[in-house]
Amino acid sequence: MDESNTRLREARKAAGFKSARAAALRYNWTPSTYASHENGQTPVPRDAAKAYAKAFKVSLAWLLDLEGAVNQPQQKRNPGVQSGTLQLGSGRDFELDAPASVPEISITAGASYAGGFGQEENTIDQDGNSVSQDAIRATWGIPTPFLRDELHIRPDRAHILSVRGDSMNDALFDGDRAIINLDDRDVSQGGIFALLDDNASLIIKQVELVRGSKSRRIRCTSRNPIYAPFELELTDPVAIIGRVASKITRL
């Protein structure tokens, strides 16, 4: 292991990533390749080092341990948000992640089949998500390392939905806030998802694929047994919004 491998690990840890795999997944790097660069199995190529330096906000020269180089992290502050700093390399300030701004969407996140939202608020963004500026009820400051490392959600790909009703007891309760991973729409392994039903209403249900069906169908189940399960065909307007990755709840 040479100095560049050691500095890569330092930079990754200082950026708030607990593991090499977490950093690789965040930036769409091949985990095994990145790990080999960090643990010294292979040298750090210059092209890869450029990407690492940009992601971890350190200078390329410092990362590659070039002669006479000092660490000059890129300064990129979010106005109005106080970020922490620590010392790295030459002792200059190294900026930590600011909290991620996660929008809470002002809709009834259907803890019953009839849950929905006003169609006048329903617009489709570039990723196909139903949201508009008018629909944002609030913005939550969520620690970026928690989203990235614990929930494996890109900070700009999270939404928060307010739960209403009792159909998802014992997983989600009335008044909970569900954190949705907009990048995870794969229902093949099942799980709890936010989705649009055949009335274009937003609901949160336990979802699984119906195996052996001629069309692509899903089975939606409530955790509360008083609500009957139902099936939906994955055709417009039915759409998977994202997987429920966590929740904010009261004690």
> Which CATH number goes with the domain that contains 87?
1.10.260.40
Looking up residue 220, the CATH number of its domain turns out to be 2.10.109.10
pLDDT > 70? residue 86: no
Average pLDDT of the residues in 95-121: 54
The domain tally of the chain equals 2
Whether 89 and 106 share a structural domain: no
Scored b (16 or more CB within 10 A) or e, 69-95 reads: eebebeeeeeeeeeeeeeebbeeeebb
- Cβ–Cβ under 8 Å, residues 204 and 109: yes
Average pLDDT, the chain: 78
Strand partners, 164: 110
Q: Residue 97 — very low, low, confident or very high, per pLDDT cuts 50/70/90?
A: low
Whether 142 and 238 share a structural domain: yes
- Cβ–Cβ under 8 Å, residues 202 and 116: yes
User: CA nearest 26: which of 63, 8, 51?
Assistant: 51
Range of the domain at 60: 3-95
Q: Residue 42 — very low, low, confident or very high, per pLDDT cuts 50/70/90?
A: confident
Whether 87 and 109 share a structural domain: no
Strand partners, 233: 217
